[in-house]
Structure 1
Amino acid sequence: MLAEIDNAVRSTPVREHGMALQRAAAGAALLAAALPAAAVALAVWLTLGRPVLFRQVRSGLGGRCFTIVKFRTMHEHRDAAGALLPDHLRETGLTRWIRRWRLDEIPQLWAIVAGDMSFVGPRPLRPETIASFRALGIARGRVRPGLTGWAQVNGNVRLTDADKLALDIWYIDHRTLRLDLKILLMTIATLLRGERVRAEAVAAAQAHLAARFAGGSGGAGP
């Protein structure tokens, strides 16, 4: 398959940016967020009941599985056929607000402390989803998943799955400390202004991925 898409877009791991510092920062952030986390836990317990936490196996660096932990923000309500209702029908007004400000992700700081995640990287996905990407799933596993990332600040839920994957691969191939810092700043702007699709970044990522399929060296940045 086209040399497995340039040997899985170079499957060797990408050098991390200061994981020891990231782990220490995540530990400090956990202490600073203790009171907000307690408030969120109480709100979840009062609105959704137990369990307060949501746990699910996700794929990490090199395809190694780990368990992600977040505050639960949805009911388990199902339709007559037993299928879960759409997300927006399982949220409450309060848990929608919690997700809007990403307060449900506070427990994921533990994953950074444990070395399973970093602050910036592709969104952690389920192993079966990664496997469905085939060679690109291997390429995506060259870095640790992150709390925020290039796809998350360029449209996130407003993007197609194909767009998200292209943005993830673009990020991995262009990753620098400067880009990570840019993404962190863009994350703050996204929280304040809401999610918006940055068409130029999506187009650059798609062009980069197409160049890989064609055997080229990749496209330019946004």
Structure 2
Amino acid sequence: MYVSILKPFFDRLTAFAVLIIASPILVLSVILLWFANKGNVWFLQERPGKDGKIFKVIKFKTMTDERDAQGNLLPDDRRLTAVGKFVRKTSLDELPQMINVLKGDMSIVGPRPLLVEYLPLYNQQQRRRHEVKPGITGWAQVNGRNTLNWPERFACDVWYVDRISFALDIKILFLTIVKVFKAEGVSSGTSVTMEKFRGNT
């Protein structure tokens, strides 16, 4: 009953309230990112949701599209603007995903939606992360976030799928708030973003 009825209800109610309360911050972020990214504020990308269904995730764009002489994108750390770095550090880039929650594509709590290209790379156990809606925050995010390696992240995702409950969601939300204030786990040990998943060896 919680997963099918109560959780979707609380998700939409929470998302609506957050968007209303955070609207001044959202507007300010849009203005700052408009100037920092030369008019490019939004990051839209296809991601797999529940049962692998594809949807477009909505985030603030924290990096420019600067390229080298050969037309290749510059490394992430060179494209990350000062404003973008602050937005990422405070997790403000995740706020627009509340729109995805209102649409029913995502949940507040659940495994993070990853790239579509990863779908054929999962083993049977890892693929179970798609048994539930993806979330803005999740068990992996409060247990290391981008400092975890891929097997650890997937293990956290499946652990959550097997134990999903109202009490666990509340615990994850509380821990998320703590992590945001401490700005922990934003970058991996070797990159400003998480390295790509290359499959299981």
Matched-pair contact (CA < 8 Å) for 1:131–1:137 = no
Matched-pair contact (CA < 8 Å) for 1:63–1:138 = no
AA in 1 matched with 2:88: R
Matched-pair contact (CA < 8 Å) for 1:55–1:67 = yes
Displacement of 1:98 in angstroms is 0.7
TM-score normalized with structure 2 length:
0.85
For 1:106, the equivalent position in structure 2 comes to 95
Q: What percentage of aligned pairs have identical amino acids?
A: 38
Q: Give CA-to-partner distance per residue, 1:199-219, whole Å, 9 cap, x none.
A: xxxxxxxxxxxxxxxxxxxxx
For 1:140, the equivalent position in structure 2 comes to 129
Displacement of 1:85 in angstroms is 2.2
1:29-48 to structure 2, matched below 5 A, reads 29-48=18-37
For 1:178, the equivalent position in structure 2 comes to 167
Q: Give CA-to-partner distance per residue, 1:183-202, whole Å, 9 cap, x none.
A: 10110111122325xxxxxx
Q: Give CA-to-partner distance per residue, 1:111-166, whole Å, 9 cap, x none.
A: 11011111101111122213211423531111111110011111111111121111
For 1:188, the equivalent position in structure 2 comes to 177
Q: Find the aligned partners of 1:149 and 1:107 in 2 and give their Cα distance.
A: 17
For 2:104, the equivalent position in structure 1 comes to 115
* Pair member with larger Rg: 1
Runs of 4 or more consecutive aligned structure 1 residues displaced over 4 Å after TM superposition: none
Q: Find the aligned partners of 1:105 and 1:140 in 2 and give their Cα distance.
A: 20
RMSD: 1.7
Displacement of 1:21 in angstroms is 2.3
Matched-pair contact (CA < 8 Å) for 2:47–2:55 = yes
Of 73, 79, 90, 1:84 maps to 73
Matched-pair contact (CA < 8 Å) for 2:60–2:96 = yes
For 1:7, the equivalent position in structure 2 comes to none
AA in 1 matched with 2:53: R
For 1:219, the equivalent position in structure 2 comes to none
Of 7, 15, 39, 2:3 maps to 15
1:64 equivalent in alignment to 2:64:
no
Q: Which runs of 5+ in 2 are unaligned?
A: 186-201
Matched-pair contact (CA < 8 Å) for 2:126–2:158 = no
Q: Which runs of 5+ in 1 are unaligned?
A: 1-13, 197-222
- How many residues in Structure 1 have an aligned counterpart in Structure 2? 183
Name the SS for the 2:18 alignment partner.
helix
Matched-pair contact (CA < 8 Å) for 1:62–1:138 = no
TM-score normalized with structure 1 length:
0.77
1:127 equivalent in alignment to 2:116:
yes
Displacement of 1:56 in angstroms is 0.2
Displacement of 1:33 in angstroms is 1.6
Matched-pair contact (CA < 8 Å) for 2:111–2:137 = yes
Matched-pair contact (CA < 8 Å) for 1:130–1:137 = no
For 1:94, the equivalent position in structure 2 comes to 83
AA in 2 matched with 1:120: V
